[in-house]
Structure 1
Amino acid sequence: MKMYVKTVVALAAFLMVAVISFVLFLSGDSSASSGYTTTGDTGLENFKFVKNIMIWFMLMLVAFLMLFIKKYEWGVALAVLLSAAGSFVVYLAIKQFLFGVSIEEAWNQDLMLMGVICAITVVIAIGCFLGKLKMWQYFVAGILFAPVFLIVEWFLFGIGLEHEGLLHMVFGFNASDAGGSMLVHMCAAYFGLGVAIALREKRAFNEPMYTTTHSVSFVWLASMLLWVLWPSFVTALLPADQVFWGMMVCYLAGIGSIISAWIVCTAIQKKVNPLIYTYAMLAGPVAIGAPLLMIGPWAALVIGLIAGVISALSFIYLHPRLTKAIGALDVMGVHNLHGVAGWFGAIVAVIAIPLYGIDGADSLTNLVGAIGVFAISIALGIVIGFVLKLTRGKFPDEHMFSDDADFIKSEKPAE
């Protein structure tokens, strides 16, 4: 009977959303109903179209990057899809309806790019608290994250609709973060940590998180493909004439972290822990986001080498100490990759701006930007974490890091 009631409520909610969406569609700009038309350089529009698809591909690969827990692989995949869907739709809706612009003004390639960047940010963030919520709550987390991302975006750069960001209004400059070290990686890490802190799920510390060779092979595949595709992400919003430079320095930074993460893992633990290495090898591409257009290829290699060391050391030494200090487990070690490497990239940009005299950039703006992203993300993460905790209800021990409650399974149970 309870399941029947839940089904009816779910269907009613779906129909309500569908009706509201239909009304909003009818009230939109009718001139757009005949088809979307673009203005400007068709080649550039096609270039952005490819970028959109590649970033969506990267988003799905992030799911595979987190598929190592033996009894929670399907759960991770579904949580990624639901959180991405919720954040993407709400981001687009806020951009159009809250700011009162027509469909033709709001819907363009740049909007779609920012929508998928918002979605991939929340997908990274849920890695901090995967396995600690009911499945429907990941959809809610995605919905609630979209306004957080918009606040961070406005703080750093403005909202993209003829308005200035907070940093620009105060300091006269926007933050320099072409590849998203702050907007994406720091925001994801500290929002996710904020949620984890609010949930304060002590039982997570007792989960052994057993893996299989098969599940870790998925992680290897995802990490290597993400490494290849990363230049598409950091150059997504750049003018066409700057894309090659962004690609070049991104790959050099990635080469650096591939080398240094391996050296640290083998030097300290004698053998490579694949769940540390496959994450830490991506630290260079994460760190290069903020100084992307400020440095040359050899400097990028050095940044990658340092980032790989910092990330690997964070997994080995910082992770157990930090989780104990905050009383919450960062399940996927998001902070050790996206948090620390994001900070490193932001600090490199602060140092590089006065050294190279970057036009339209200011060190103080970037420093305040990084601190602000940290504060905004973790504070709002804690608030949303409390909302998720209050709505979670009873959460049995056997549901922790297990997808048995959400899927039909036909395999024979282990004896």
Structure 2
Amino acid sequence: MSQDEDDKRLTLKSRKTESLMFVIGLFLFQVFMIVLFAIWVRYDTNARYGGGFDQVQDEIDHTYGYFRDVNIMIFFGFGFLMVFLRRYGYSALGYTFIISAMVAQWSVLLMGFVEFILHNESFRHELFYFNVETLLNGLFCAGAVMITYGALLGKVTPLQMLIVGILEPMFYFLNMYIMEKIKAFDVGGGMTIHTFGCYFGLTVCWFITNKKAKTSPENAASYVGDLFAMAGSLFLWMMWPSFNAAIAPRGDPQLRAIANTFLSLTGSTIATFIVSRLCGHFGHKLDMVHVQNSTLAGGVVQGVLAHLNIGPASAISMGFIVGTISVLGYVYLTPFLAKRFNLQDTCGINNLHGMPGFIGSIAAVIAAAHAINDRSLYSDVEFNILFPAGDEQAKRNAAMTFIVVGVGIVGGLITGAILKLVRKIGGLRKEEYFSDHAFWHVASDYPSGFGSGDDSETGPSSHSVELESKEH
């Protein structure tokens, strides 16, 4: 038996082990969810509130529209945004689908645990009643996990993503617990979703990036893939005001959240087209990578403070600034991190989520300090709602900014170390990075020469000449 045949035999055996562990792990997870939901979780009901007012219906009328929009963002927007890779469309959409669904279930329980701990309630004698906002928070958590997936795209096995989907929500809700305890605000998840998800993902990425991944020719986009990714980006762009306004206090704060987010998105879009044309690969041409991603930075930067009275001009300016920084990040910072620090950030999440989220968090600290010094910006009632820590609000939000980064890095270190160990089980071969064929039955027009162990599952390419593709 040749060395090549022996390697294929060992790979097939390891892949079967990985498959078995993934299936058993996901099945046990589902059984665990069913049991705990049956024992502990109940629907919210009007009987809990008393009186004649239909509290449940009012909550549905107000929240379900936002829930629908965020649902589209997570499953469609994030999924299609990541299909740009020419051989990785099944995995981008499929793993987004299953892991987000799994996280949505897991988050209901984790949110219940956090609320019980915050209110010193007994797990033995109390039930957890959930509503649409609970489900909405599960989608927010899934968003953080999908941001992490953006850095790992093309370099992970289904088993590894299953582990990420179980572990990362625990750290996400640890951040939520800390934020509630210190009374920081984060209306659209600028800290707890974008900043945390990014630096958790980059830390994990450091563990799983290797020479095989960095030199893979499949880490490239296709024309059709970029078009589908642009569809995902447009859905995210259109729905982002809902993302930031969903849990904002009703009335003026919610109006400001919608307006500030939309205006900021327009600012980042204009900046993207200007800066991409000026310096995109120094060819004075627009780069679709920038248009798909940096245009969204305006929504991220408003994540913490969208509901505050910052003024429409400030919202546009913030969007323009982070749009500029995001494009420059794609041009200069992403290649630098890959070369010097072994951080192959496939989707460039540091440019879309990390830096804009951190800048927005610092801007929220400044806005809180400004509100404390100028009480005319808000009524007394509104001030108490928006700034629960009172005169300490700026300090609390500053502390929370660095806490989420710390939790993200520590959580990423733990998860990354586990993923590195698991990589020995069904790990990717050199030709399997950024390619679907390792874990999916591929279509008949999947390029010949790629198959799971042999070429029997693939047919001849439908193109006689492969589409020209670029580094993404």
TM-score (normalised: structure 1): 0.88
- Check the 8 A contact 2:22/2:158 in 1, yes or no: no
- Cα separation, 2, equivalents of 1:18 and 1:389: 25
Shift of 1:16: 5.1
Unaligned runs of 5+ in 1: 159-164, 169-173
Q: 2:242 aligns with which of 207, 232, 235?
A: 232
SS class of match (2:436): coil
Seq. identity, %: 28
Shift of 1:348: 1.1
- Cα separation, 1, equivalents of 2:202 and 2:223: 28
Shift of 1:214: 1.0
Q: 1:271 aligns with which of 285, 294, 310?
A: 285
Matches within 5 A, 1:91-102: 91-96=107-112, 99=116, 100=123
- Check the 8 A contact 1:87/1:144 in 2, yes or no: no
- Check the 8 A contact 1:28/1:102 in 2, yes or no: no
Q: 2:329 aligns with which of 294, 314, 317?
A: 314
Q: 2:296 aligns with which of 282, 286, 309?
A: 282
CA 1:192 to 1:15, structure 2 compared with 1: closer, same or farther past 3 Å?
Answer: closer
- Cα separation, 1, equivalents of 2:44 and 2:399: 39
- Check the 8 A contact 1:45/1:109 in 2, yes or no: yes
Q: Find out whether 1:47 has 2:56 as its counterpart.
A: no
- Cα separation, 2, equivalents of 1:44 and 1:115: 17
- Cα separation, 1, equivalents of 2:212 and 2:174: 33
SS class of match (1:106): strand
What is aligned with 2:399? 368
What is aligned with 2:4? none
- Check the 8 A contact 2:209/2:342 in 1, yes or no: yes
- Check the 8 A contact 2:33/2:105 in 1, yes or no: no
Q: 1:243 aligns with which of 240, 243, 254?
A: 254
Q: Find out whether 1:198 has 2:207 as its counterpart.
A: yes
Please provide the CA RMSD for this pair: 2.5
Shift of 1:25: 4.9
Q: Find out whether 1:71 has 2:87 as its counterpart.
A: yes
SS class of match (2:438): coil
SS class of match (1:387): helix
Unaligned runs of 5+ in 2: 1-11, 50-54, 117-122, 376-382, 446-458, 465-472
- Check the 8 A contact 2:213/2:430 in 1, yes or no: no
Shift of 1:14: 6.2
- Check the 8 A contact 1:201/1:328 in 2, yes or no: no
Shift of 1:89: 2.1
One-letter identity of the residue aligned with 2:278 = A
SS class of match (2:85): coil
- Cα separation, 1, equivalents of 2:298 and 2:24: 47
Q: 1:396 aligns with which of 404, 421, 429?
A: 429
CA 1:413 to 1:249, structure 2 compared with 1: closer, same or farther past 3 Å?
Answer: same
- Paired positions, count: 397
- Cα separation, 1, equivalents of 2:332 and 2:34: 53
- Cα separation, 1, equivalents of 2:260 and 2:34: 46
One-letter identity of the residue aligned with 1:211 = A
Q: Which has the larger radius of gyration?
A: 2
Deviations 1:234-281 (A, max 9, x none): 011123313222111111101100111111111113111001222001
Q: Find out whether 1:119 has 2:142 as its counterpart.
A: yes
Q: 2:227 aligns with which of 217, 230, 253?
A: 217
Q: 1:177 aligns with which of 186, 204, 208?
A: 186
Shift of 1:37: 2.6
TM-score (normalised: structure 2): 0.78
One-letter identity of the residue aligned with 2:243 = F
What is aligned with 1:344? 359
SS class of match (1:71): coil
